[in-house]
Amino acid sequence: MNKKQKKMLARIVLSALLMIALQFVPVDGVSRFLLYLVPYILVGYDILIKAVKGIKNKQVFDENFLMAVATLGAMALAVSDNGDYTEAIAVMLFYQTGEWFQGYAVGKSRRNISELMDIRPDYANIEQDGQFMRVDPDEVAVGTVIFVQPGEKVPLDGVVVEGCSTLNTSALTGESVPRDISQGEEIISGCINMTGLLKIRTTKEFEESTVSKILDLVENASSRKSRSEAFISRFARVYTPIVCYSALALAVLPPLVRMYFWGLPPVWGEWVYRALTFLVISCPCALVISIPLSFFAGIGGASRAGVLIKGSNYLETLAKTQSIVFDKTGTLTEGVFEVNAIHHNVIDDKKLLEYAALAESASSHPISKSLRKAYGKVVDRGRVTNIQEVGGNGVIALVDGVQVAAGNAKLMKRLHISYIDCHQVGTIVHMAVNGVYAGHIVIADIVKPASKPAIAALRREGVRSVVMLTGDSYKVANQVAVSLGMDAVYAELLPADKVKKVEELLLKKASGSTLAFVGDGINDAPVLSRADIGIAMGAMGSDAAIEAADVVLMDDDPMKISTAVRIARKCMAIVHENIVFSIGIKVVCLVLGALGLANMWLAIFADVGVMILAVFNAMRALFVRKYTEQSGVDQQKNVSLRSA
């Protein structure tokens, strides 16, 4: 609890004790009124002040106005009848208790967001005159060498130029598994250095760093309202004035009808009491508070699990997901390609691999990296000229003045070069030297152990269609798709082809359902933007993912996708429960109040009781069951062990 919540709780407790104690004080008249006024003012003065401010600002119809009118009216009736002031005090007391619970619930959900906000670094260490000096991360220029000591947060993105260590990435990924880092590797801001001293050369300014983008994403999530929230806001703006005028009509019209048409006494006190009860019952607190809180708690619970959802509108859309389209490389597979075989023709395998590594030296594609890794030597870029990258085909370059073509079968056909087909499973890099076929290199990717359990988990969550898109060959794509139990696979696609295929699938999907695309965020930005909901995974350090996707998974565990869907569906189920429960109870109690069958105590339950129950229900969205994520991986491991 914060200081404000503690103060409010003290006011509630003290007011309740005074109200109970006054039951045993034998006083009447003005003295009785003044004594009971003390606990009323003590617990409700801020509500009265807010109601007055609302009237001054011409924003009359809100819950503060309803509570002020209802309780002041009840106090006035008690004065006129020398009756019981307890009801008026109790209404204000229980309303403030409900507000306190709501504040506590919001604070709890905000603490989950705050834990993520703790990744923001306070300073960066730079060396000056042989000593470390702390500076604001905003002041550190790109290319500056900074030092991160054990226990400190990494303040900026960069490359490790000296040292090795273990990083705690739990604030970003939601997982406690440490990650090793060493010289030459990229490092992102927001991680905590656990062991050794790291010397890092920064590659981005602070405002462009990973930690800044993530913080901005989370801070702005609440500004993107869902349809449910927008509906509740519009509903409250229309509903509150209607019930105020209805209460006024209930207080005035029946007595007038009794007096002028039936010739009976008007009984003003009874009908005013019914109208005040009607006002207390009608207060829309449960809806206005619990629905946004449900979304806020859902986003908070997701962020704690390493799933960043950009807004409640995306949470609502994600909950309707019936079809999921996966990119293959880096999403369902490790994205770590290794050279499995070299089949040479006119030159030996070492020379063939050297030509391939040099020709591909300018590319950042995982296959190019695997070729350079297999080559095992420092690539001399000065030996390579006239590099032409043919999208979806491969690369043509001059290596030591010799024309080298490295790519798939499409490239060979494009160059009118006869090639030898390879029946090994993997990605085949065909090589041609000076227009003559020189052989091919077989490169294989590895399916992630969690991919198959992740697909099964999605089906358990109700996802009906799981599709895979890839630029890889049909043979490789089919093998991966069959092993994972995909419903369909589309291979040998260029980036533009992936967008077209997603558009075709969008036209075929069921009305009212959502199609999600899952990619690694590096080259999938167009597709992530085109799908109903774009999910980028393994996005630590990927600017394209954070910018283009609607949901960002901070590590490369595909089980997090089912976690995200489960969180969204749980959150929306809670929202619908609260809407039905709140409106249903309100309608029943309003009818009872209008007929004189409900008193202030039932009104208190209809308002405060329903609000507290709805708030506690909303808080369930904070909690995410993690054992279901791990169980799938463990199950897959057990299957592998049995088959071995």
Residues pairing with 385 in the sheet? 398
Helices (H), 334-414: 349-359, 366-375, 409-414
Rounded Cα distance, 290 and 294, in Å? 6
Nearest to 96 by CA among 12, 13, 19: 12
Dist. CA 9–CA 170, nearest whole Å? 34
Please identify which residue in the block is written with the tokens 């004189």: 596
CA–CA separation, 75 vs 80, rounded Å?
Answer: 9
Question: What is the C-alpha to C-alpha distance for residues 92 and 105, in angstroms, rounded to an integer?
Answer: 20
Q: Which of 327, 520, 555, 556 is catalytic?
A: 327
Q: Which helix (H) or strand (E) holds 292?
A: helix 285-304
> What's the Rg (C-alpha) of the chain?
33
- Which residue, 560, 108, 106, 113, is CA-closest to 306? 560
Q: 4-43 burial string, b = 16+ CB within 10 Å, else e? A: eeeebbebbeebbebbeebeeeeeeeeebbeebeebbebb
Write out the two tokens for 66: 């309803």
CB-based contact 92:602 (threshold 8 Å): no
Helix (H) or strand (E) holding 635: helix 627-643
Question: Taking a C-beta distance cutoff of 8 angstroms, is the pair 294, 610 a contact?
Answer: no
609 secondary structure, DSSP code: I
DSSP strands (E only) in 408-523? 427-433, 436-444, 465-469, 488-490, 514-519
- Are 435 and 320 contacting, i.e. CB atoms less than 8 angstroms apart? no
Could you list the beta-strand ranges (E) of 19-123: none
**What is the DSSP-derived secondary structure letter of residue 493?**
-
Residue whose pair of structure tokens reads 């908070």 in the numeric block? 300
What is the distance between the alpha carbons of residues 571 and 414, in angstroms, rounded to a whole number? 52
Cβ-based neighbour number of residue 447 at 10 Å: 15
Instruction: Quickly count: other Cβ atoms within 10 Å of residue 258's Cβ.
Output: 16
Whether the CB-CB separation of 467 and 381 falls below 8 Å is answered with: no
Is 445 labeled as catalytic in the residue annotation? no
**Helical segments of 305-333, H only:** 312-318
Looking at the DSSP bridge assignments, the partners of residue 305 are none
Beta bridge partners of 339: 443
One-letter amino acid for residue 601 of the chain: W
Are 76 and 45 within 8 A, CB to CB?
A: no
> Contact at 8 Å (CB) between 342 and 415?
no
Q: Would you give the distance in Å from CA 258 to the centre of its chain? A: 58
Could you give the CA distance from residue 318 to residue 224 in angstroms, rounded to a whole number?
A: 14
Amino acid letter for position 138: D
Q: Which residues are catalytic?
A: 327
